[in-house]
Homo-oligomer: A and B are copies of this chain.
Amino acid sequence: MMELTRKGEYAIRGIVYLAGKQPDKVCLLSDIAEAVDVPPTFLAKIFQQFSKIGLVKSYRGTGGGFMLGRAPEQITLLEVVEAVEGPILPNRCLAVPTDCERSCSCNVHPVWQRVQGEVRQVLGGVSLKDLVNEQ
């Protein structure tokens, strides 16, 4: 259970690759896709989502491409994952407004809140800077 989708996996690969380039280097989507082994059309959709929320900056036309929207140490894995997968919700009752009428009396509910908190903490504690392979 709890599996990241391909989309999430591809998203991470793509943006980590960008984070490994020198700042202000504009990268072609096609180059990124090839480097991280992701279908280019699929990665395009992912980067469009990134672009909308400012995780990456995009430039159209000749000489265009993508670059990171902020410094790598300012972008967490949590942001990247939630950008494409939506919020971390181990169970539906954590959505607001909660859609389970049992949530008040339910002893399981707080367990899922703890799970959510732990996952968010782990992912939130890792930045893109931590993820690039420096050598």
Contact = CB atoms under 8 A, between A and B. Distances in A.
25 contacts: A1-B82, A1-B86, A1-B87, A2-B2, A2-B119, A3-B89, A3-B91, A4-B91, A9-B91, A77-B108, A107-B132, A107-B133, A108-B131, A111-B122, A111-B123, A111-B126, A114-B122, A115-B118, A115-B122, A115-B123, A118-B118, A118-B119, A118-B121, A118-B122, A119-B119
B123 A107 contact: no
Interface of A: 1-5, 8-9, 12, 16, 77, 81-82, 85-92, 105, 107-108, 111-112, 114-115, 118-119, 121-123, 126, 130-133
A3 B112 CA distance: 10
A5 B90 CA distance: 9
Q: Specify the main secondary structure of chain A where it touches its partner.
A: helix
A89 B77 CA distance: 17
A98 to B, nearest CB: 13
Interface centre among A1, A8, A91, A112 (most CB of B within 10 A): A1
